Amino acid sequence: MENRLFVMLMEKVKPFTDEVIARHREHLRNLDEYGKLVLCGPFADYPGGMVVVKTQSYEEARGICESDPFIAEGYETQLSHQ
C-alpha cells in the first residue's frame, strides 16, 4: 500500500504545561525518526497548530493524532484528519 499525506489540525482548549510540551515534542521527534512526520507547527493567527503525517491509512494517521499528548491529555481538540 502506498503512503498518503494526512493533515491533523488542532485547536488549543487549555493552557499548556512545560511537561506536556516536552511530551509533545518527543512525540514529534519519534514521528520524524520513523519517517512519518512531514511538517508541523503552530499558527500565528489561530489558537492551535497543524501536523502533517505520511501513513498508509487513515486509521494509522488517526492513531498518531490520538496518541499526541496535546490531544490525548485534552490540551487541544482534533479538528480534521485529512
DSSP-derived pairing of the beta strands 4-12 and 37-42: unpaired
pLDDT confidence of 80, banded at 50, 70, 90? low
The pLDDT assigned to 82 comes to: 47
Please state which CATH number belongs to domain 4-80.
3.30.70.1060
Inter-CA distances, 41 with 20, 26, 36, 51, Å: 15, 14, 15, 7
What would the pLDDT profile of 14-71 be if each residue is shown by its tens digit? 999 999 999 999 999 999 999 999 999 999 998 889 999 999 998 999 999 999 999 9
In the chain, domain spans: 4-80
- Between 4 and 81, the more confident residue is 4
Q: How far apart (Å, rounded) are the C-alpha atoms in residues 58 and 81?
A: 8
Instruction: State residue 51's pLDDT score.
Output: 94
Whole-angstrom distance, CA of residue 20 vs CA of residue 6: 23
